[in-house]
Structure 1
Amino acid sequence: MHIERLAAPLWPLLNKFYRSHNSSMKALKDGQLWVARDTQIVAGLCLTPVVGGQWLTGVFVDPAYRGQGLAARLIQQAVAGVDGKVWLLCHPDLETLYQRMGFSQDTVLPQSLSERLVRYKRNKPMIAMGLDNLMACAR
């Protein structure tokens, strides 16, 4: 398994991966895109700059590769060089998964993420989580 940052011109490949799994996730052109590859992309995520850190979105692992710690390895590598905090917005069912990676529920968000959380919560249950100590992700 090879984990790498996807070069900017290749961002459509991550969108193709998401679509192939009927996921509504999208790679953001101005973000850092990270993928895990076997012979093809089997997992991906996006880190987008926000005030005070990065917003983690689009974490998706091919169902055939789940349960192997791939999401944790991908996130760990992607956030290793991040200055500041890493935030994510997720369904409450994923809280335990992200807690194992060192994330905790976080109510102090940059304004842009706080506004998104309010909008997202109109349609589905969502929580905000943050990672202060990036070394916690290495567990």
Structure 2
Amino acid sequence: MANRFYRRHHRGMKANGQQQIWVLRAPDICASLCLQPVETGHWLTALLIAPAMRAQGLGTQLLDQVRAEVDGPIWLFCAPHLTPFYQRCGYQLAAHLPESLDSRLQRYQRSKSLVALANLPG
């Protein structure tokens, strides 16, 4: 179901079998994100809010639910203009990344500008 939501609203996003899929419904899926376990925490990808439902706090709500239920650090990569949104949700510039994410970020940054952020428990 999440992949159908992603296809409808953003062609580049897709969930895979290694990820936990988190969704909000109203009654259909209106927001989704993916979490993938990494060495010492989780990597958050594919946060998407349906265009008609944006600016209603759904992204913040979904991120808050994930933080409340997931142990350990949560890392993500985002476009620089999205950094203030994630900072309001408790994310900060990542000082260190697990090796698998660090190498992935370096590869991704060859073709686009991305910022690595972390949300640490506590």
Using structure 1 for the length normalisation, give the TM-score: 0.84
Tell which deviates more after alignment, 71-80 or 49-58.
71-80
Task: Name structure 1 gaps, 5 residues minimum.
Answer: 1-12, 135-139
Shift of 1:113: 0.5
Asked if residue 44 in structure 1 is aligned to residue 44 in structure 2, the reply is no
Task: Check the 8 A contact 1:28/1:48 in 2, yes or no.
Answer: no
Q: In the alignment, what sits opposite 1:97? A: 85
CA distance in 1, matches of 2:30, 2:23: 7
What are the Cα deviations for residues 83-122 of structure 1, in whole angstroms up to 9, with x where unaligned?
2100001111100000000000113000010011001101
What are the Cα deviations for residues 26-78 of structure 1, in whole angstroms up to 9, with x where unaligned?
11211111101112111100111001101011100001111111001011112
Using structure 2 for the length normalisation, give the TM-score: 0.95
Q: How do 1:26-105 and structure 2 match up within 5 A?
A: 26-105=14-93
SS in 2 for 1:79: helix
SS in 2 for 1:129: strand
Aligned residues: 122
Deviation above 3 Å: which 4+ runs of structure 1? none
Identity %: 45
CA distance in 2, matches of 1:106, 1:89: 10
RMSD after superposition: 1.1
Q: How do 1:5-44 and structure 2 match up within 5 A?
A: 13-44=1-32
